[in-house]
Structure formats: structure tokens, C-alpha cells
A and B are shown apart, each in its own frame.
Chain A
Amino acid sequence: MHKLWHSVVLLVVCSVAIVAAAHAGETPDKTDEQTPLPQAYALPEDYKPIETHPKPGEGIQKYAEDAQSGAQANFGVQPIHDNEIFATLLVDRLEFQSREWTGAFVWDATGWVGTDYNKLYLESEGTILPNQLHVDEAMLELYYGRAVTKFWDIRAGVRWDVEPKPERVYAALGILGLAPYWFEVEANAYLSDQGNVTARLEVEYDIQITQRWILQPRFETNVAFQDVRKYNIGAGFNDFELGVRLRFEEARQYAPYIGLSWNRKLGETAKLANFDGEDISQLSVVLGLRLWFF
């Protein structure tokens, strides 16, 4: 089972990397500002006359015969720029969870920079327990994402678990996109530096109560394909988070919210936690802020 997963993950990572390499360096934007102004009534200088009769058997000629591949850019100027680089950062959750006794601060942010097809993603998620002044969990992920279908990106990259110690590094591969009925889905498989395979699924959905009040159910689950005793992880479904958050979108950039979050450990992982005296189920009231930097 181990070996099979390793090879599958590695294979897909490699193929994505090859696809990425093949598409690198697309659409150069050549600018040659030295081109002189045209004479009155002159044709563009890169214009070549074309036979005005169709070739035999060729009824419809849609493209000019002398077409170079790629966009037309007469006089070294490109008329429009449809491959622009944008960047954004969405802090989807920045919240306080009223866990038993003490509570916890949780953050969950995704940022990307890139074009329609190629994006670089940076994600971070983590938990701080204020009573112990201690970062309980902290995770950083870096992905290259490629748009492969209308609604889905394939992403390959690395995940770095800064906490809990000792640190772990993973190779990561996954998809990000919009499922039918507007479910926002992020699913990743991870291969750790110790050879362990895990996976994570996140699904979010926005219910428009009014134009400004939005209810967001959220589901997250982790799966392990083997026991990782060091981190109290058992094979199978480890845990899930089922949350519902009601936010007031004062602006797209800024939305305070309130909600409920239920964390539950499952199966072997739950047993291990129980053994250590940890709670296996936690229901929290959450209070937070969603920030979106455009």
C-alpha cells in the first residue's frame, strides 16, 4: 500500500512539473518603441499582401495566411494585455475558538500570484493556544497551480509543518476548484519526508442570506494511509471539522463573522488521543474576521 501510493504521487508530481515546464515562457510581450510612425495611408509594416483567391478546395479561409503564431502586435505594440499577473490574499479565517477552559486562535489564509493559467499559491493554517503561549499547529504550503479544466487547477508543491515539533516536510499534490453547485473544494495528498502518506479535503459553500449576510458551512477532514505514532495519528480518517459561520460582508475586503465549529477525532486517532487524555470532540463558538486583500 505504502509503495503504491509513493509511486502514484511521485508520478503525478513529475508529470505536472513537465507540463509546467512545457508551458513556461508563454506569450512574450515584445515592445519595440523605435518603430517610426507610419506614412499617411500606409499599411502596417508587418503586413504582407495575400492572394485574394481561395486555394482550390478551400472554401473558407478564416485566418490570414501569413499569420505568425501568437498575437498580432503591429509596430511592436500589443493592443491589449490578456495575460496579466494578479495577486490576492484571502484570510478566510482569523478567529477565536471558545474551546474548553481556554480557547484558541486559528488562522487560515490563501494567497496567490499569477495569470489565468499559472499561479503560485502560498497557504498557511495554524492554531495558537493562548494559555500556554504556544503555537499548537502551524502549517505552510507552497504550490504551483495550473488551470487544467474550466473550473479546476492542479497544484503541486510542498507543505511544511512548523509545529508540532519535530518539523515535517511533505511533497504535496492536489486540486483546487469549483465543484458543481458552487462548492469550493481543495483536496491534497501529502507524502512526508518520513514516507507517510496523508490527505486532506476542504469544502466550503456560501449561502447568500441577504446581499451582505452570508452563511458559510465548512467541512474539513484528514486521512492517513498508515499509523504515524509520533504524532498520534492512526490509519484511516483522522478527524473532521464541521463549521458554520455567519459573516457580515461589509465590503468584499472585510467581513466579521460568528459561528460554530465542531472538531471530532475519528477511529484510531481518536483512540490514541483518548489514551493521552485529550478530548476527542470539541464544540466551539467562533468569532472572527475574514479579510480579502485584492
Chain B
Amino acid sequence: MSGCKDLSRRSFIKKTGIFLAGMQCVWPLPAWALSTSPGIEQRSPKSSYDLTIGYSPITIDGREGVSTGVNGSVPGPLVYLREGDDVTLRVTNELMDTKHASIHWHGILVPANMDGVPGVSYRGIPPGETYVYRYRVKQAGTYWYHSHSRFQEQTGTYGPLVILPKDGEPFTYDRDYPVVLSDWSFEDPEAIFRHINILGDYYNYQRRTVADFFKDVREMGLLDTIAERNAWGNMRMSPVDLADVTGHTYTFLMNGHSAGMNWTALFNPGETIRLRFINSSTMTNFDVRIPGLDMEVVMADGKAVKPVSVHEFRIGVAETYDVLVRPSKDQAFNIFAESLDRSGYTRGTLAPRAGMHVPPPALRPRPVRQLEKIGMGGMDDNIFGVMMGDMKHGDMQMDGQGKQPKQPDPRIPGPNGPEPFKPDDIGVNVIMVVNNPRYRLDEPGIGLGEDGWRVLVYDDLVSAEPQPYSTTVDREMTINITANMERYMFSFDGRKFTEQPGPYFFRHNERLRLFLVNHTMMEHPIHLHGMWMQMENGADKLPFKHTILTKPGGVVSALITPIERGDWAFHCHLLYHMEAGMFQVVRVA
């Protein structure tokens, strides 16, 4: 037991590395994700990979299932590249009963036909065939890859992608661990999709009950409780509709391990450990903390930020955060990742020796959405938001009693802010329209920030990277995130993908300000392929993001320079929202 501690880091990695290599045939996980992991070895980036997507067995908590893993494992192998290299990635589809498989390199700047989205960048990889991806790696950091074909991502077609910078890392550390968070279900994803389409809260076993009503009456008083129930009831939305698919069917995984299987990362006290958090979930936003340790966030979406010390951060689906931790004591720590709706968690352990663990903390209570937070607070907004849909009045900014429309938030950039969303025919697609979307990047998000510890907010992210793009904004565009949760229809600008008039248009090399206005009551992680979104959060150097977790009733603006011509996917990264229509093609020309 105590022998490990005395070994130098290098010889430790060497020894465990050899030991674990021998174990690999017993447990079908790549070395970096093994139950007791030595992490990434620093000297091993390659420029050529062979990845095969095929049906392979998976065992979670003793139960066996079938996955669509990459090279036989979930998550797939670590694709470890070096910045500046020309890489070749050969991907073979051995899922013989599929129309196609695919791998998309999430967050990687590639030519359009290397992006891996069937129907946008290529035709997908037909069964039995191999597609050869070739591109020059123009960036460094923590990313991931996943299938963009139907629901293959849900059943395990994902893995971490790490790029070693050619000029060295901007910070120092002793150990390096990818931490891939994901959600696994033994149910067929087609069945999950069918269930939530037919009954939106099929998986919600945290609905509000009669007991909650009386609890609220005690706390808020009868009239306020009734008023609150009244407003939600009138809109026919639920304030506890936090996640469409929950821990009821999901087992949340960390590097392919359930909470009980307890993935463990080893350290020696006094070392600095880099944890590369990657949210590879299909539907689960996680809140991550390591009780007892400060986390220093040093990268967001693969790009360096000025270090921020936090105790907890929310990681939206498809986002990545690199954090440094410095445990000085000879004790074990939980790496604890709770789902946003508090229906479950996964955890791993940071430990000086294998086999150690501390009991995980309790799940916090399921939060309840507040009307004001989703932009429906106050009678004026509330009435407009609801009545626009029912009565199709075009402009009802004034309510006849002399109330002025709210002044736009000065933190929203641009001369005019986002273009108001006034659909000609609101139809069936849009349940709610937020007339005064708010700047919410300073908020930690629902269920966070009231525990007495410091939580990362988007406003904390200040880029530490060179800013190569023009500072003058050429053009502004507003994209509205819209939905009818009751009918499970998800859309942009009130149109599902198949109802769009055509692709959005970005001009090559222009500087575009894109407003994303979330007219729904849920968080949507919005992902733009092929180019960076620089989130306008008031920082002097804007952080680079490939995925932005938009808050309900909120507006986010991002500056974009489309650097590659061609067609690119733009979508909500909640897999079932995407498949239900929240998807668009962006044409750069």
C-alpha cells in the first residue's frame, strides 16, 4: 500500500502502465479509462488511428448490454494527437444493420468534408466501409469524438480526443486524466425517443406532488402558491421539467464506470493533477465538484482561460473543462457529478492508492424553475408570452396602462440586441415567446449557487489565447431556440429542421455576431460545427466555445468568424432534441 507513495512519478506511471496493459484483455476498456487509471502518458501522441464502430458487450453494475462502442469499448480509445500534425483517422463501420455510421470530431477545426455529419459533410460510412479522415490539426486541448448517426452516440459511440500543444502546455501538472461523463441506458434509444415523444414526462419521477403544494403553502403562503401554480398551469408547462431522460433509465458513467464501479485516479499528495472533464452524455448536463478540493478551471472547450478557482461547475452536454486540482493530504476524494435534475449521479475517486473510497455526498433536492428566471416573470411578460401564441397579436409591447417596455440589458452587446422574435404564424411549434430575453451569463444556473461554495459562471471565463480574429462586427444575426415540449417538437426560429426554408448563411471570413435567444424553459447546449463561437461575456478577451449551454429565457451572443467554406451542422447537443428537429445547416460561402 504505502509503497506507491515513495515511487517517483515517472517510475510509477511506467510500472502501473505495464501492469494495466496486461489487464486490458480482462476488462474491455482502454488504458486511460481503466478502473484504476494511470492517466495519459505524455509521450504518446500518434498521427494515425484506426477506429472501428461495432457491436460490443458492455457490463454496467453487473448487467450486460450491447453497445456500439469504438474498438470494442465505451468510451472509445483516447485519440491523442499533436498540434500541427497531419493526421489520418480511418473509421470503419461494422454495424452491418445500419444505414450509416459516422464520427464527428467535436470542436475540431477541419475542412467541411472531414467533419463527419451524414447528410451535411458526407454521406456517412455505409456498413462494412471505411472512411479516411485526413486533416491538419490546428489547435490543442481537450475535445471528444462521437457518432452523428441517429442514436449511436447514446449506445456508446464516443471517446475523448486530446491534442498536445506544439509549444508546450500553458500550465504545469504532474498527472493527466480524461474524465468522460456519460449516460448509459439498457433501453433501446429508439424506445426512449418514442416514450418521450408520446409522453413528455415519461421519465420524470420527480414531478410536483400534493405534498409539495402544502410545503409551498407553508413557505410562501396560500395566495402566492396558488398564483405560482396558476401561472404554470396557464402555460401548461411544468417547473420541474428539468430533463427529458433521467436517472430513471440512465446509469451515469465516469470513464465507463458507474458510481458503484468507482473509477479511480491515482495521485501522490502534493502533486498537481489535470482532470479533463468531457461531457459525452446524450441528454445529461452535470454539476461537478470534488468535495474538499478547490478546482482551478484552466481550459474551457479546449481553449485556455485565465485560471478560475471554483468549487463546482456545470458542464453542459458536449462541453469540456480542464481543471487542475492539488490534493496535499494522503486521503481519497470524490469526483462527484450530479445530473442537473438531481435524478442521479456518477462519481469517481481521486486516491493516493487503489481501492480507497469515501462515501459520495447526498444528492441535493430537485430544483424548481422560477417564472422570472425563464423570462416569464411579471404580469406583462407572462401575459404576452402566453397570449402571443393564443391570439396571434403582433405587437403587444404596451399593455394599455402606460407601462413602458423594459429597457434592454446593457450587458447585451450590439446596438440593438437580438432581433425580436415575431413569427408570422406561431402555429404548433412554439409554446412560449420571451419578449425580454435576459443576459444570464453571470448566473450559475438552476439549482446551483446556494450551497455556500463558489460555482463557475460563464462570466468567469476570460480567454488566455491569442485573439486572431477581427474586432469589428460586420453583421448580426439572431437565432431563436424554440420548442413545443408538450408535442416534443424542437426547432430553431419556430421551424423544425425539415420545415426550414434552407440553410442559414454565414459569409466566409466575416465577423458575425450571433444572438442565441432561448424561448424555451430548458437548458439547450447549442453546438456550432467548424468554427469557434467567442462568447460575449464582457471579458476583454472573449472565451472560445464550440458548445454554449443556453439558459431558458436568456440571450447569449457570440462572435463568429467562419474560416472554412462549406456546410456545417448547427444544433442542440441534447441528442433527442436534435433528432426532434432542433438542427440546422449553416452554409459558409
Contacts and interface: CB of A to CB of B under 8 A. Distances in A.
A binds B: yes
A44 B112 CA distance: 8
Contacts of B503: 63-64, 67, 72
A71 B566 CA distance: 16
| Closest 6 A/B residue pairs (Cβ) | A67-B502, A79-B119, A82-B581, A181-B233, A75-B123, A77-B119
Nearest to A39: B113
Contacts, number: 196
B220 to A, nearest CB: 19
B423 to A, nearest CB: 12
A35, A70, A79, A83: most-surrounded residue (chain B CB, <10 A)? A79
A282 interface: no
Contact of B209 (A82, A151, A182, A210): A210
A71 B119 CA distance: 10
B209 A209 contact: yes
A75 B567 CA distance: 12
B505 A75 contact: no
B164 to A, nearest CB: 25
Given A72-B567, A150-B426, A252-B202, 4 more contacts: A47-B567, A64-B589, A80-B583, A150-B484
A201 B484 CA distance: 25
B114 to A, nearest CB: 8
Nearest to A35: B123
Interface stretch (B280-288, B406-414, B492-500): B492-500
A118 to B, nearest CB: 11
A133 to B, nearest CB: 36
Interface in A261-294: 292, 294
Contact of B118 (A59, A79, A180, A181): A79
Contacts of B207: 208, 211
28 contacts: A27-B498, A37-B123, A38-B113, A40-B113, A41-B111, A47-B567, A50-B505, A62-B477, A74-B121, A74-B567, A77-B100, A78-B498, A81-B150, A82-B498, A86-B197, A116-B487, A117-B428, A149-B389, A149-B427, A150-B390, A150-B431, A151-B486, A180-B233, A208-B207, A208-B210, A210-B211, A252-B195, A294-B194
A294 B191 contact: yes
Interface of A: 27, 33, 35, 37-38, 40-44, 47, 49-50, 52, 59-84, 86, 88, 116-117, 147-151, 178, 180-182, 207-211, 252, 292, 294
Contacts of B390: 149-150
A83 B197 CA distance: 11
A159 B195 CA distance: 29
A71 B194 CA distance: 22
Contacts of A33: 123, 126
Nearest to A27: B498
Contact of B501 (A63, A117, A178): A63
B504 A64 contact: yes
A182 B237 CA distance: 9
A292 B195 CA distance: 11
A241 B280 CA distance: 51
Nearest to A66: B502
A189 B581 CA distance: 34
A76 B565 contact: no
Contacts of A40: 111, 113, 134
B215 interface: no
A123 B210 CA distance: 32
B528 interface: no
Contact of A72 (B100, B578, B585): B585
B118 A147 contact: no
A38 B122 contact: yes
Contacts of A211: 205-207, 209
A63 B497 contact: no
A60 B120 CA distance: 24
B502 A69 contact: yes
Interface string B454-493: 0000000000000000000001110000001011111000
B273 interface: no
Interface in B302-343: none
B488 to A, nearest CB: 8
A76 B236 contact: no
A110 to B, nearest CB: 12
Interface in B150-199: 150, 191, 193-195, 197-199
A64, A78, A294: most-surrounded residue (chain B CB, <10 A)? A64
A41, A59, A69, A147: most-surrounded residue (chain B CB, <10 A)? A41
Interface size class of B (residues with CB under 8 A): 35 or more
Contacts of A27: 498
B579 interface: yes
Contact of A73 (B119, B199, B209, B566): B119
B389 A150 contact: yes
B203 to A, nearest CB: 9
Given A74-B567, A149-B428, A79 B134 contact: no
Nearest to B386: A180
Given A43-B112, A64-B505, A178-B486, A83 B209 contact: no
Contacts of B501: 63, 67, 69
B357 interface: no
Contacts of B580: 82
A75 B477 CA distance: 28
B502 A63 contact: yes
Nearest to A40: B134
A27 B206 CA distance: 37
Contacts of B119: 72-75, 77-80
Given A38-B122, A71-B497, A81 B579 contact: yes
A289 to B, nearest CB: 18
Given A27-B498, A180-B236, A79 B430 contact: no
Contacts of B234: 180-181
B348 interface: no
A43 B118 contact: no
A37 B124 CA distance: 9
A65 B487 CA distance: 32
B236 A79 contact: no
Contacts of B243: none
A180 B232 CA distance: 9
A292 B202 CA distance: 11
A52 B507 contact: yes
A72 B502 contact: yes
A11 B538 CA distance: 59
Nearest to A28: B498
B222 to A, nearest CB: 17
Interface string B106-146: 00000111000111111110100001001000000000000
A70 B498 contact: yes
A59 B475 contact: yes
A228 to B, nearest CB: 37
Contacts of A41: 111, 113
Contacts of B448: none
A81 B149 CA distance: 11
B566 A208 contact: no
A83 B498 contact: yes
A79 B569 contact: yes
Contacts of B209: 208-211
A10 to B, nearest CB: 26
